[in-house]
């Protein structure tokens, strides 16, 4: 982990130095310095590595609130811009559950899951202009996410997952015009400190570390000096590493989650 952190910070400094002869594009600075509020809509799929198969999938609806800033440091030409970002995401869905309750009394079980998720991530990086109309922003990131499941029916139960996130990523901004800014991002995070609890079954367990990956494409359009409209499409994949069996024999299997989300909203520049 120490080598990973060292590599991330070395990447931040070296990539920031690439743009030491350029100034940040005003359209990029405006698109990256704003308060955002948007609606999200997408699809989620969850699968456990267990037999009979345990799957859960369906539509997700929610919202995102965030704040970001791209600030010229003005100290040296090698470190032109400081990047900060905070995002909070909430999504919920009435999902189709087709699963395995690990109980002889309930073989393959179908029901609906009224679930929701929360995530909050902070990013800190250094921006390096690549010519006048582009900027590359490598960053480090850390945050937290949780997932609440409420599976209905006679064999249903509630389940709560939570974990921390730490890692980094890179973002590329392109000023397509004085009003339009297009962005592409790739992010890799370690899923750490994870756990699951099922109160009705008197079960709780910790996970080992695993990974989370995100890629996204976004567009920001400046309506006037203060207001922006934005849209985006993102894909997130992550795993829970599973747990050892508890005293009752219940355990949390290895699982994989895939989420695809679209985002539409407005932002206020500051």
The per-residue pLDDT for 22 is: 60
DSSP 243: -
The per-residue pLDDT for 238 is: 96
Pairwise CA distance, residues 222 & 213, whole Å: 29
The per-residue pLDDT for 235 is: 98
**pLDDT tens for the chain, residues 1 to 270:** 544 444 444 444 444 444 444 667 999 999 999 999 999 999 999 998 887 778 889 999 999 999 999 998 765 555 679 999 999 999 999 788 887 766 666 667 788 888 999 999 999 999 999 888 999 999 999 999 999 998 887 777 899 999 999 999 999 999 999 999 999 999 999 999 999 998 888 889 999 999 999 999 999 999 999 999 999 999 999 999 988 887 777 888 899 999 999 999 999 998
Pairwise CA distance, residues 140 & 126, whole Å: 10
- Global pTM reads 0.86
For the chain, the distance separating the N- and C-terminal CA atoms, rounded to the nearest angstrom, is 37
The per-residue pLDDT for 2 is: 47
Token reading at 229? 């409209």
The per-residue pLDDT for 95 is: 81
Q: Which CATH architecture fits 2-269?
A: Beta Barrel (2.40)
Pairwise CA distance, residues 165 & 210, whole Å: 10
Q: Tell which residue, 256, 153, 150, 151, has the closest CA to residue 213.
A: 256
What is the number of alpha carbons within 13 Å of residue 24 lying toward its C-beta? Answer: 29
Residue 198 CB coordination number (10 Å): 17
- Going from N- to C-terminal start, the domains of the chain cover 2-269
Cα–Cα–Cα angle for 267, 120, 192, rounded to 5 degrees: 155
84 with 68: CB under 8 angstroms? yes
Burial of 17 (0-12, 13-18, 19+ CB in 10 A): middle
Q: Tell which residue, 41, 27, 90, has the closest CA to residue 64.
A: 90
């Amino acid at each position: 982990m120490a080598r990973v952190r060292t590599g991330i910070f070395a990447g931040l400094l070296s990539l920031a130095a690439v743009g030491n002869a350029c100034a940040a594009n005003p359209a990029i600075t405006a698109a990256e310095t704003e308060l955002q509020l948007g609606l999200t809509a997408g699809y989620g799929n969850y699968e456990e590595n267990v037999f009979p198969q345990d799957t859960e999938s369906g539509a997700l609806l929610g919202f995102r609130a965030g704040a970001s800033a791209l600030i010229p440091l003005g100290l040296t030409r090698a470190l032109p811009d400081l990047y900060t970002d905070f995002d909070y995401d909430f999504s919920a869905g009435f999902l189709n559950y087709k699963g395995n309750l690990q109980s002889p009394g309930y073989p393959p079980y179908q029901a609906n899951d009224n679930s929701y998720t929360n995530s909050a991530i902070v990013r800190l990086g250094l921006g390096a202009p690549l010519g006048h109309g582009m900027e590359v922003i490598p960053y480090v990131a850390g945050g937290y996410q949780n997932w609440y499941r409420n599976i209905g029916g006679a064999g249903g139960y509630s389940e709560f997952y939570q974990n921390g996130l730490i890692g980094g990523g890179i973002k590329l901004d392109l000023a397509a015009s004085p009003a339009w800014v297009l962005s592409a991002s790739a992010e890799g995070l370690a899923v750490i400190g994870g756990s699951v609890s099922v109160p009705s079954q008197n079960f709780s367990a910790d996970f080992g570390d695993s990974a989370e990956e995100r890629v996204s494409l976004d567009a920001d359009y400046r309506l006037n000096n203060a207001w922006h409209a934005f849209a985006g499409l993102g894909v997130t994949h992550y795993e829970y590493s599973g747990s050892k069996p508890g005293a009752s024999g219940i355990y949390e299997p290895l699982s994989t989650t895939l989420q695809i989300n679209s985002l539409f909203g407005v932002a206020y520049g500051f």
